[in-house]
Chains A and B, each alone.
Chain A
Amino acid sequence: MYGWIWRHLPGPTAVRAVTALLLVAGVVALLMFVVFPWLEPKLPFNQVTTE
């Protein structure tokens, strides 16, 4: 998977490395700001109120 991505990145090694880092940063941001906030209330470990 990662090998496949690396092979399909364009440019010389330095450019590929920068692109790869940007991709990782993008995925992390997507997880932190979109996926986790959506997922978090559905998980059973931070409900603090009584019914």
Chain B
Amino acid sequence: MSTVDTGGRPVESPGQSPLPGDTDRVRAVVRGLGELLITAGLVVLLFVVYEVYVTDLLSAGKQREATAALDTAWNAPPDPQQPEQPEQPEQQRVEHFDGLAEGRGFAKMYVPALGADYAFTILEGTTERTLEIGPGHYLSTAYPGQPGNFSVAGHRVGKGAPFNDIDLLNSCDAIVVETRYSWFVYRVLPKKEEVGTWSTGKAVDPRCNGVSPLGAPYNNVVGQEIVSPRNSGPIAPIPGMPGAETSVGEQVTLMTLTTCHPQFSDRERLIVHAVMVKQWAKDPAHADVRPPELKETA
């Protein structure tokens, strides 16, 4: 039996196809294309795994480091030169937020309604790098406990997903912010559909003490809203009125959370507004005393 050389490839037995060389080439191209498509599919699947799980792992480590760094800073004496100055404790126990560097942790937030272990260190700034570590504070918005709008952005998918479930927050749910010297308790404002019936409805809940629809110029500020990404209104001192000029003294002490919406998309932004209802100064003699709001896990 004689063989014909067709470019080094073994020749198929004649009779199956009139042009064995062409069929082989077509088959190779089709197979190569199929393998490419399968590979592309696997890469996309792998990307989902990366986005939803791997970034969580990486961010969890960074968040742990940020929390450890913050704890170290809080436990250090305020002024290393004069660690013992008991005669002026009032002056020393004042928060200093000015001059915070991008990506530095300065507060912790707790949302007991999302679980007793829900705790994140909030960092300064909202760049990609910072938000990989944890929730980030919008520069130029107020700091915890200050009049104005303490605004924080957080990821909803991957990267630790700190704000994954903030759509589940109900009005009056507590958002507790811990700083070096204080605890600040914010509570989610009434939602749009609750505003009308607030005084006869949810207001009777003891948890809602201090929470009520805000008067002018805050009429349109509700517990939850969904806005366009181009809308900077939600983080303005008076949410929804970015240009409004009010003196700091007239401003309500608000907190705003922003994240992407709907989940797995960034078409819109989910916004949660809360109002401060209580604040405690930490007692240096009883450093382990924690606000009772942290137990509202139900």
Contacting pair A48 B258 (CB below 8 A)? yes
**Binary interface profile of A, 10-47, with partner B (CB < 8 Å = 1, else 0)?**
00000000000000000010011000100111001111
Q: Are B230 and A48 in contact (CB under 8 A)?
A: no
Question: A-contacting residues of B (Cβ < 8 Å)?
Answer: 31-32, 35-36, 39, 43, 46-47, 50-51, 54-55, 126, 128, 131, 138, 153-159, 163, 227, 229-235, 258-260, 264-267, 269, 271
Contact assessment for A49 and B138 in the assembled complex, using a CB-CB cutoff below 8 Å: yes
Number of A-B pairs, beta carbon distance below 8 Å: 76
Bound together, the chains give a CA A1 to CA B36 distance in angstroms of 8
Q: In the complex the two chains form, is A46's CB within 8 Å of B54's CB?
A: no
B266/A50 in contact, CB under 8 A: no
Interface centre among B39, B47, B126, B258 (most CB of A within 10 A): B47
Closest to B128 in A: A41
A48 to chain B, nearest CB (A): 5
Partner of B260 from the list A1, A41, A45 (CB cut-off 8 Å) is A45
Contact flag A36-B258 (CB < 8 Å), given A45-B264, A46-B158, A50-B232: no
Complex CA distance for A48 and B261, rounded to whole angstroms: 8
- CB <8 Å contact, B36 and A48: no
Q: From residue A31, how far is it (CB to closest CB) to chain B in Å?
A: 6
A45-B260, A47-B229 known; A32-B50 Cβ under 8 A: yes
- B36 nearest in chain A by CB position: A1
Cα A32 to Cα B58 with chains together (Å): 11
